[in-house]
Structure 1
Amino acid sequence: MHVQVDGARQQVCCTGCGAAANWIRDAGLADYYRLRDSAGGRVALATTDYSAWDRADVQADHAIETPQGREITVVCEGMHCAACAWLIDHALRREPGVSDAGANAVTGRVRIAWDPERTPLSQVLARLAALGYRPHLAQGEAAERERRRERNRMIARLGVAALGATQAMMFAEALYLDTANEMAPATRDFFRWITFLVSTPVVFFSGWPFIAGMATELRERRPGMDTLVASSVLLAYFASLVETLRGGAHVWFDAAVMFVLFLLAARFLERMARRQASARLDTLARAQPALAWRETAGGREQVPVSALSAGDVVQVAAGDTVPADGELIGDAAALDESLLTGEATAVDKQAGDALYAGSTCREAPLRLRVQRTGSDTRLSQLVRAVDRAQASRPRVAHFADAVARRFVVSLFVVAGLVFWAWWQVQPERAFEIALAVLVVSCPCALSLAVPTALATAHGTLARWGVLALGADALENLARADVVVLDKTGTLTLGQPRLLHAEAIEGDIGQWRRIAAALECNAGHPLALAFALPDGPVATAVRTVPGQGVQGEVDGRAYRLGRADYAAGRADDGALWLGDGARALARFETTDPVRPEAGEAVAALRELGLQPRLVSGDGATRVAAVADQLGITDVASRQSPEDKLAIVRALQANGHRVLAVGDGLNDAPVLAGADVSVAMAGGAPLAHRSADLVLAGPSLLRLPQSVRLARRTRRIIGQNLAWALAYNVVALPFAALGWVSPGLAALGMAASSLIVTANALRLGRPHGELA
Structure 2
Amino acid sequence: MAAFVIDEGQCFHCAEALPTHPTHAHLDGASRPFCCDGCAAAAAWIRDARLTDYYQLRSEAAARVGTKLADYAAWDREDVIVEHARWLEDGSREITVLTDGMRCAACAWLIDKGLRNESGVEDIVANAVTGRVRIRWRPDATPLSKPLQRMAALGYRPYLATGLEREEARRRDRNRWILRMGIAGLGAMQAMMFAEALYLDTAGEMSSATRDFFRWITFLVATPVVFYSGWPFLEGMWRELRHRRLGMDTLIATSTLLAWGASVVETVRHGVHVWYDAAVMFVFLLLAARMIEQGVRKAASAQVDALARARPLLAMRETGNDAESGREQVLVSQLQPGDTVRVAPGEPAPCDGLLLQAGAFDEALLTGESTPVAKQVGDVAYAGSICIDMPARLKVTATGAKTRLSELARLVDEAQAERPHMAQLADRIAHRFVVLLFLSALVVYIGWRIHDPTRAFEVMLAVLVVSCPCALSLAIPSALAAAYGALSKIGVLCVREDVLDRLAAVDTVVFDKTGTLTDGQPRIAHVDVLSGMHEAEAIDIAQALERDSRHPLARAFNALPSTQGMKAEAVREWPGQGIEGMVAGQRWKLGQATFAATNGKEEGHDIWLGDGEQLHARFTLTEQMRCDAASAMHRLRDAGMSIALASGDSETAVAAMAQRLDIPQHASRQTPEDKLARVRALQVEGHRVAMVGDGINDAPVLAGADVSLAMGEGAALAQRAADFVITGPRLIRIPQAIDIARRTRAVIRQNLGWATAYNLLALPLAAMGHVTPWVAALGMALSSLLVTLNALRLTKVPV
Q: TM-score w.r.t. structure 2 length?
A: 0.90
Structure 2 match to 1:324: 351
1: CA distance, partners of 2:517 / 2:504: 22
Question: Which of residues 234, 244, 247 is equivalent to 1:221?
Answer: 244
Question: Which of residues 307, 310, 313 is equivalent to 1:284?
Answer: 307
1: CA distance, partners of 2:192 / 2:220: 13
| Aligned partners of 1:317 and 1:361 also within 8 Å | yes
Residue 660 (structure 2) pairs with residue 628 (structure 1): yes
- Per the TM alignment, residue 460 of structure 1 is displaced from its structure 2 partner at its CA by 1.7
Structure 2 match to 1:138: 161
- Per the TM alignment, residue 76 of structure 1 is displaced from its structure 2 partner at its CA by 3.3
- Per the TM alignment, residue 700 of structure 1 is displaced from its structure 2 partner at its CA by 1.4
1: CA distance, partners of 2:42 / 2:384: 29
| Aligned partners of 1:317 and 1:365 also within 8 Å | yes
Amino acid at match of 1:328: L
Q: SS of the residue aligned with 2:394?
A: strand
| Aligned partners of 1:375 and 1:381 also within 8 Å | yes
Residue 51 (structure 2) pairs with residue 21 (structure 1): no
- Per the TM alignment, residue 208 of structure 1 is displaced from its structure 2 partner at its CA by 0.7
Moved more, 468-477 or 181-190: 181-190
Structure 2 match to 1:714: 746
Structure 2 match to 1:687: 719
Q: SS of the residue aligned with 1:649?
A: helix
- Per the TM alignment, residue 154 of structure 1 is displaced from its structure 2 partner at its CA by 0.5
Residue 185 (structure 2) pairs with residue 162 (structure 1): yes
- Per the TM alignment, residue 96 of structure 1 is displaced from its structure 2 partner at its CA by 4.3
Residue 338 (structure 2) pairs with residue 307 (structure 1): no
Structure 1 match to 2:223: 200
Question: Which of residues 361, 365, 388 is equivalent to 1:335?
Answer: 361
Residue 589 (structure 2) pairs with residue 559 (structure 1): yes
Q: Taking structure 1 as reference, are residues 353 and 131 closer, same or farther at Cα in structure 2, changes over 3 Å only?
A: closer
Residue 170 (structure 2) pairs with residue 147 (structure 1): yes
**Paired residue total:** 760
Q: SS of the residue aligned with 2:590?
A: strand
1:305-352, Cα deviation, whole Å (9 max, x unpaired): 23323222222122222121111112x111111111011111110011
Q: Taking structure 1 as reference, are residues 91 and 515 closer, same or farther at Cα in structure 2, changes over 3 Å only?
A: closer
Q: SS of the residue aligned with 1:315?
A: strand
Unaligned runs of 5+ in 2: 1-23
- Per the TM alignment, residue 172 of structure 1 is displaced from its structure 2 partner at its CA by 2.1
Residue 520 (structure 2) pairs with residue 497 (structure 1): no
- Per the TM alignment, residue 231 of structure 1 is displaced from its structure 2 partner at its CA by 0.6
1:224-273, Cα deviation, whole Å (9 max, x unpaired): 11111011001111111222222221111111111001101111122123
1: CA distance, partners of 2:26 / 2:516: 56
Q: Taking structure 1 as reference, are residues 51 and 585 closer, same or farther at Cα in structure 2, changes over 3 Å only?
A: closer
Q: SS of the residue aligned with 2:140?
A: coil
Residue 506 (structure 2) pairs with residue 476 (structure 1): no
Q: SS of the residue aligned with 1:334?
A: strand
Q: Taking structure 1 as reference, are residues 488 and 4 closer, same or farther at Cα in structure 2, changes over 3 Å only?
A: closer
- Per the TM alignment, residue 38 of structure 1 is displaced from its structure 2 partner at its CA by 4.2
- Per the TM alignment, residue 295 of structure 1 is displaced from its structure 2 partner at its CA by 2.0
2: CA distance, partners of 1:274 / 1:2: 43
Amino acid at match of 2:125: G
- Per the TM alignment, residue 697 of structure 1 is displaced from its structure 2 partner at its CA by 0.9
- Per the TM alignment, residue 688 of structure 1 is displaced from its structure 2 partner at its CA by 0.5
Residue 436 (structure 2) pairs with residue 405 (structure 1): no
Q: Taking structure 1 as reference, are residues 41 and 346 closer, same or farther at Cα in structure 2, changes over 3 Å only?
A: closer
1: CA distance, partners of 2:548 / 2:69: 48
- Per the TM alignment, residue 173 of structure 1 is displaced from its structure 2 partner at its CA by 2.1
Structure 1 match to 2:554: 527
2: CA distance, partners of 1:600 / 1:444: 39
Moved more, 261-270 or 301-310: 301-310
1: CA distance, partners of 2:420 / 2:69: 50
Structure 2 match to 1:191: 214
Moved more, 542-551 or 659-668: 542-551
Moved more, 651-660 or 591-600: 591-600
Residue 85 (structure 2) pairs with residue 53 (structure 1): no
1: CA distance, partners of 2:164 / 2:365: 20
Q: Taking structure 1 as reference, are residues 12 and 502 closer, same or farther at Cα in structure 2, changes over 3 Å only?
A: closer
Structure 2 match to 1:751: 783
Residue 578 (structure 2) pairs with residue 548 (structure 1): yes
| Aligned partners of 1:446 and 1:720 also within 8 Å | yes
Moved more, 706-715 or 290-299: 290-299
Amino acid at match of 2:725: V
Residue 292 (structure 2) pairs with residue 269 (structure 1): yes
2: CA distance, partners of 1:169 / 1:419: 25
1: CA distance, partners of 2:700 / 2:100: 45
1: CA distance, partners of 2:66 / 2:32: 13
1:19-76, Cα deviation, whole Å (9 max, x unpaired): 4234432xxx665455333455677788765332211112123212333432111233
2: CA distance, partners of 1:326 / 1:63: 31
Moved more, 137-146 or 604-613: 137-146
| Aligned partners of 2:85 and 2:94 also within 8 Å | yes
1:177-196, Cα deviation, whole Å (9 max, x unpaired): 22222222233223222222
Residue 492 (structure 2) pairs with residue 466 (structure 1): yes
Structure 1 match to 2:254: 231
Q: SS of the residue aligned with 2:393?
A: strand
- Per the TM alignment, residue 505 of structure 1 is displaced from its structure 2 partner at its CA by 2.0
Structure 1 residues 496-645: aligned runs within 5 Å: 496-499=522-525, 501-509=527-535, 510-531=537-558, 532-534=560-562, 535-569=565-599, 571-573=601-603, 574-645=606-677
Give the % identical residues: 58
| Aligned partners of 2:296 and 2:481 also within 8 Å | no
Q: Taking structure 1 as reference, are residues 467 and 755 closer, same or farther at Cα in structure 2, changes over 3 Å only?
A: same
Structure 1 residues 69-108: aligned runs within 5 Å: 69-76=92-99, 78-93=101-116, 95-108=118-131
Q: SS of the residue aligned with 1:577?
A: strand
Q: SS of the residue aligned with 2:327?
A: strand
Structure 1 match to 2:134: 111
| Aligned partners of 2:161 and 2:167 also within 8 Å | no
1: CA distance, partners of 2:193 / 2:392: 67
Structure 2 match to 1:661: 693
2: CA distance, partners of 1:528 / 1:87: 48
Residue 262 (structure 2) pairs with residue 243 (structure 1): no
1: CA distance, partners of 2:274 / 2:215: 8
2: CA distance, partners of 1:504 / 1:3: 71
2: CA distance, partners of 1:31 / 1:481: 54
1:453-506, Cα deviation, whole Å (9 max, x unpaired): 212221221121111111122211111111111111111222223345444423
Amino acid at match of 2:129: V
Q: SS of the residue aligned with 2:621?
A: strand
Amino acid at match of 2:646: V
| Aligned partners of 1:616 and 1:637 also within 8 Å | yes
Structure 1 match to 2:144: 121
Structure 1 match to 2:759: 727
| Aligned partners of 1:17 and 1:42 also within 8 Å | no
Q: Taking structure 1 as reference, are residues 367 and 130 closer, same or farther at Cα in structure 2, changes over 3 Å only?
A: closer
Moved more, 277-286 or 75-84: 75-84
Q: SS of the residue aligned with 1:488?
A: coil
1:603-651, Cα deviation, whole Å (9 max, x unpaired): 2222222111111222222222212221111222221112111112221
Structure 2 match to 1:648: 680
| Aligned partners of 2:62 and 2:103 also within 8 Å | yes
- Per the TM alignment, residue 658 of structure 1 is displaced from its structure 2 partner at its CA by 0.4
Q: SS of the residue aligned with 1:223?
A: coil
Moved more, 487-496 or 34-43: 34-43
Question: Which of residues 144, 165, 179 is equivalent to 2:202?
Answer: 179
Q: SS of the residue aligned with 2:515?
A: helix
Residue 469 (structure 2) pairs with residue 443 (structure 1): yes
Q: Taking structure 1 as reference, are residues 461 and 408 closer, same or farther at Cα in structure 2, changes over 3 Å only?
A: same
RMSD: 2.3
Moved more, 125-134 or 302-311: 125-134
1: CA distance, partners of 2:71 / 2:44: 18
